[in-house]
Structure 1
Amino acid sequence: MRYFLEIAYDGTNYHGWQAQPNALAVQAVLDDCLSKVLRQPISTTGSGRTDTGVHASQQFVHFDAVQALEVQQVVFRLNRILPDDIAALNLYQVSEEAHARFDAIARTYHYHITLTRNPFKRYYAWYHSRALDVQKMNEAAAILLKYEDFTTFSKVKGDTNHYRCTMYEAGWRQEGEELIFTIRANRFLRGMVRLVVGTLADVGKGKLTVKAFEQIIAGQDRSKASGAAPAEGLFLAKVEYPDQDA
Structure 2
Amino acid sequence: MSEKQRYFIELTYDGTAYHGWQVQPNAVTVQELLDRSLATVLRQPVETLGCGRTDTGVHATQFFAHLDVEAMDLGPSAVDQKTIHSLNAVLPKDIAIKRILPVHNEAHARFDATQRSYEYHIHFEKDPFRLNRSWELRDKPDIALMNAAAKMMMGYTDFSCFSKSNTQTFTNNCKISRAEWVEHEGGIVFHISADRFLRNMVRAIVGTLMEIGRKEMEPEGIRRIIESKNRGNAGTSVPACGLYLTEVKYPYLLESTI
TM over 0.5: yes
Matched with 1:181 is 190
Q: Which residue does the alignment assign to 1:98?
A: 107
Contact 1:141 1:170 in 2 (8 A): yes
Quote how far apart the aligned CAs of 1:67 are.
2.5
Q: Which residue of 1 aligns with 2:131?
A: 122
Residue identity in the other structure for 1:32: R
What residue in structure 1 maps to residue 165 of structure 2? 156
Q: Tell me the alpha carbon deviations over residues 92-134 of structure 1, each in whole angstroms, 9 at most, x when there is no partner.
A: 0000110000100000000001111212212011111011100
Go from structure 1 to structure 2 and tell me whether the alpha carbon gap of 1:189 and 1:106 turns closer, same or farther (over 3 Å shift): same
User: Partner of 1:65: helix, strand, or coil?
Assistant: strand
**Which residue in 2 is equivalent to 1:75?**
84
Matched, 1:170 2:159: no
| Aligned residue in 2 for 1:194 | 203
Find the aligned partners of 1:178 and 1:219 in 2 and give their Cα distance: 32
Measure how far apart 1:245 and its partner are: 5.3
TM-score (norm 1): 0.98
Is contact 2:114–2:250 with CA below 8 Å preserved after alignment?
A: yes
Q: Is the 8 A contact 1:117 1:129 kept in 2?
A: no
Which residue of 1 is the match for residue 233 of structure 2?
224
Q: State the alpha-carbon separation in 2 of the partners of residues 13 and 185 from structure 1.
A: 27
How far is the alpha carbon of 1:157 from its aligned partner?
2.1
Tell me by how many angstroms 1:197 deviates: 0.5
Q: 1:214: how far off?
A: 1.6
Q: Which residue of 2 aligns with 1:233?
A: 242
In 2, the alpha carbon distance for the partners of 1:117 and 1:161 equals 42
Alignment map for 1:7-26 (pairs within 5 Å) = 7-26=11-30
Percent identity at matched positions? Answer: 44
Cα separation, 1, equivalents of 2:62 and 2:33: 17
2:120 to 111, 117, 127: 111
Matched, 1:214 2:218: no
Specify the code of the residue in structure 1 equivalent to 2:179. Answer: A
**2:36 matched to 1:32?**
yes
Query: Which residue of the partner structure matches residue 64 of structure 1?
Result: 68
Question: Could you say what secondary structure the match of 2:199 adopts?
Answer: coil
Q: Deviations over 1:51-101 (max 9, x none)?
A: 000000000000011123432221111111110000000110000110000
Q: Secondary structure at the match of 2:117?
A: strand
Distance in 1 (CA, whole Å) between partners of 2:7 and 2:51 is: 13
TM-score, normalization: structure 2? 0.93
Separation in structure 1 between the aligned mates of residue 241 and residue 218 of structure 2, nearest angstrom: 26
**Separation in structure 2 between the aligned mates of residue 245 and residue 172 of structure 1, nearest angstrom:** 29
Q: Which of 50, 53, 56 in structure 2 is aligned with 1:52?
A: 56
Instruction: Quote how far apart the aligned CAs of 1:176 are.
Output: 3.1
Given that 1:115 and 1:131 are in contact with CA atoms closer than 8 Å, whether structure 2 keeps it comes out as yes
Query: What is the Cα-based RMSD across aligned positions, in Å?
Result: 1.0
Structure 1 distance, partners of 2:71, 2:131, is 43
Bigger CA drift: 52-61 or 151-160?
151-160
Aligned to 2:11, the other structure's residue is in SS state strand
Quick one: distance in 2 between partners of 1:2 and 1:27?
Answer: 17
Q: In 2, are the aligned partners of 1:153 and 1:192 still within 8 Å (CA)?
A: yes
